Amino acid sequence: MRKFWKKIRFFLKVAATNIYESVIKPLMAFALNEAKRTALEIATSVIAEIAKDPGIVTDAQKRNTAFERIKQEAKDAGHDLKDSVINYAIEAAVTAAK
């Protein structure tokens, strides 16, 4: 009887690993890529607006303003973006704007 349960446990472990690798992991990657695309689209427009604003002088002010605007625009559009995704989008948008 013990051998039977060992085999069942092994089978379940292999099945869970296969499900994670073939289904869950690709879905997580797709969701992250979708979040990055959304954040980058918003960040590109926000960075362009901030670059034209003469009232925002220092880099720290620009970064904080961009972060807050991106977070708010994403929330208004129904997206809950992580801080790391927003920071990635800011860096990418700034690099693309240069």
- Token readout for 74 is 């994403």
What is the structure's pLDDT at 55?
84
Q: What is the mean pLDDT of residues 56-79?
A: 90
Q: Please tell me the distance from the alpha carbon of residue 64 to that of residue 21, in angstroms, as a whole number.
A: 38
Counting residues of the chain whose pLDDT is more than 90, the rounded percentage is 14
Band (36; pLDDT cuts 50, 70, 90):
confident
- Residue ranges per domain, the chain? 2-97
Place of tokens 């809950």: 80
Please state, in angstroms and as integers, the Cα–Cα distance from residue 69 to each residue in 56, 62, 82, 86, following that order. 13, 10, 14, 10
User: Which DSSP state fits 74?
Assistant: H
What pTM does this model have? 0.65
Q: What is the mean pLDDT of residues 11-36?
A: 68
